Amino acid sequence: MSKCKSFKPSIDNLSEILILGSMPGVKSLEEQQYYAHPQNRFWKVMAYLCKTPKLHEKTYQEKLNTLLKNKIALWDTIKTCKREGSLDSNILNEIPNDIRKLLLKYPNIKRIYLNGNKAYSAFKKYFPDILESYICYKLPSTSPANARYNLAKLIDKWKTVI
């Protein structure tokens, strides 16, 4: 069982949208990059939403900058946990990130999107007050483990972000 630690948020003072994942997977933790697994569809979905073709082929910093230009911030619901492998269902001993503090520091955030069931359930567990006071949406996970959704279906569900 590995101890996993989330990354710092990618956010700036112009950010209006906050996308929260659960906890980066093994590949992302190795690379120290959000959604680094080549089969994760997050960056392909963002390419469509941000009207930036082939975003998934750009450098990591270019990807983050594209999100910020579109007023999209990125972080995780969980700060630390223990987990074997990358599956959210294997997460144990989770400790949440301080999302309240982030929202106080960045008051322009208007909407929060939760990438997958685990991100949503952890958010609901630790931040029920935020769930009630912000516009929050649970979206299908972009993880390759979410085989129920192909890229076209994901894009259709995620269109509400922009």
DSSP 3-state helix, strand, coil percentages of the chain (rounded to 5)?
40, 20, 40
pLDDT, tens digit, for every residue of 41-69?
999 999 999 999 999 999 999 999 999 99
Instruction: Report which DSSP code applies to 139.
Output: E
Q: Which residues contact 162 (CB under 8 A, 6 or more apart)?
A: 49, 50, 70
Query: Ramachandran region of residue 58, left (φ > 0), alpha (ψ -120 to 50) or beta?
Result: beta
Catalytic residue among 13, 40, 65, 108: 40
How many domains is the chain built from? Answer: 1
pLDDT, tens digit, for every residue of 88-113?
777 889 999 999 999 999 999 999 99
pLDDT over 70 percentage in the chain: 99
Domain of residue 21, residue span: 2-161
Active-site residue, 117 included: no
Determine the average pLDDT of the residues in 122-149: 94
Query: The CATH number of the domain where 74 resides is what?
Result: 3.40.470.10
pLDDT at 147: 86
